[in-house]
Amino acid sequence: MASPPFESWLRPGPAGLYCAPGDFHIDPAGPVPRAIITHGHSDHARPGHAAVLATADTLAIMRLRLGELGQTQALAYGEPLTVKDVTVTLVPAGHILGSAQVVIDYQGQRAVISGDYKRHADPTCDPFELVPCDLFVTEATFGLPVYRHEPDMAEVQKLLASLRDFPERTHQVGVYGLGKCQRLIKLIRQAGYDRPIWLHGALRSMTDYYVARGLDLGAVPNAMDATDKLAGEIVLSPPSALGDRWSRRFADPLAGFASGWMRIRGRVRQRGVELPLIISDHCDWPELIRTVTETGAREVWVTHGREEALVHELSKRQITARALRLVGREDDSE
């Protein structure tokens, strides 16, 4: 007997993906009775759900960002949980601390909703785990062939070389506050840099959380507490603070930005970035194709990003693919 279509039990709707036999949404766009959240970025973890199921780290990150959450249940990686008529398992997505793919088993079929994920090694979170499945739901933030991320260490070496070339200038690097900030600090440490790395206040609470969870980041003082203009030092800030009034306290600040978008010259110019660092917490194009292929899924649904290009590429490879066009997903937090 043919299996029922995936749409009969997993439906894209106005609030996001809804699993009917389990009666829950995954990363819903607005408040719902029961939500499973893949990770703490704001386009996935929204406020107002009556009940939330996620990893303990994602719940803690959500509390830091959103305050109290209502009813919560923490689920460890790899621990199957029966939810009404389905079995739910969370497995690492390799995106940020606590990030999970949601594996749903129903009547002999398996769907994997990967949330945001990457295959590059990341010292700040558990590595992506490949789960063979029938239906794979993938993001496509960097779903164009032009997007190819560089080896992270080569990008960090660019930063360190610039510090040697311009010791009289403060190197202010824009980073997203959850994930990228802590990963960049760790990469800089792994490159052997042991001076303090100064932080904008907006990066403090998440960085402290990562440290509390056991990540050694070395000295990360507040830039506001510096007694001089931090010439030749590294300062991390949200991207919005680049070239902003806040930067005027520093010595001829040199603007860097660590993001997968830095592959695109227009974005570099538009942001006034002198030192683009192509470091991303998402898959690049080859990683997207490789991952989808490796899951063995016979059907693939593509969410936020460049959906059409990936759908087209997969169709060429005889994989049934469709664009979901879920609302409210813009991966700026990349």
Judged by the rule CB under 5 A, the positions of this chain that interact with Zn ion are 41, 43, 116, 331
Can you tell me which residue has the tokens 């997903």?
329
Q: What are the start-end ranges of the E strands in 125-223?
A: 135-140, 171-174, 197-199
Residue with tokens 């030092």: 233
Q: How far is the CB of 83 from Zn ion (least distance, A)?
A: 23
Nearer to Zn ion, 58 or 207 (CB): 58
Element (H, E) at 11: strand 10-13
Q: Which structure tokens are listed for 139?
A: 């993001």
Query: In the bound complex, what is the minimum distance in angstroms from residue 107's beta carbon to Zn ion?
Result: 29
What is the side-by-side strand order in the sheet with 10-13? 10-13, 16-19, 24-26, 34-36, 51-54, 71-74
Residue closer to Zn ion by CB (options 98, 253) is 98
DSSP structure class, residue 246: G
Radius of gyration of the chain (CA): 20
Distance of closest approach, residue 119 Cβ to Zn ion, in angstroms: 15
* Lookup: tokens for 279: 């470091």
Work out how close the CB of 121 gets to Zn ion at its nearest, in angstroms, rounded to a whole number: 17
**Tokens encoding 90:** 């969370």
Shortest gap between Cβ of 115 and Zn ion (angstroms)?
A: 7
Question: Is 141 or 162 the residue whose CB approaches Zn ion more closely?
Answer: 141
Residue entry with tokens 């802590």? 182
- Residue with Cβ nearer Zn ion (89 or 99): 99
Least distance to Zn ion from the beta carbon of 90, Å?
A: 15
CA atoms 249, 255, 260, 264: torsion sign = positive
Q: Which is nearer to Zn ion, 16 or 253 (CB)?
A: 16
CB of 2 to Zn ion, least distance (A): 33
The smaller minimum CB distance to Zn ion, of residues 57 and 331, is found at: 331
Least distance in angstroms from the C-beta of 36 to Zn ion: 15
Query: Of 57 and 116, which has the nearer Cβ to Zn ion?
Result: 116
Helical H segments across 191-261, by residue range: 204-212
Measured from the CB atom, is 40 or 253 closer to Zn ion? Answer: 40
Helix (H) or strand (E) holding 152: helix 152-165
Q: Residue 103: in which H helix or E strand, if any?
A: strand 100-106
Cα-Cα end-to-end distance for the chain: 43
Structure-token pair, residue 169 = 């200038």
Residue 247 CB neighbours (<10 A): 17
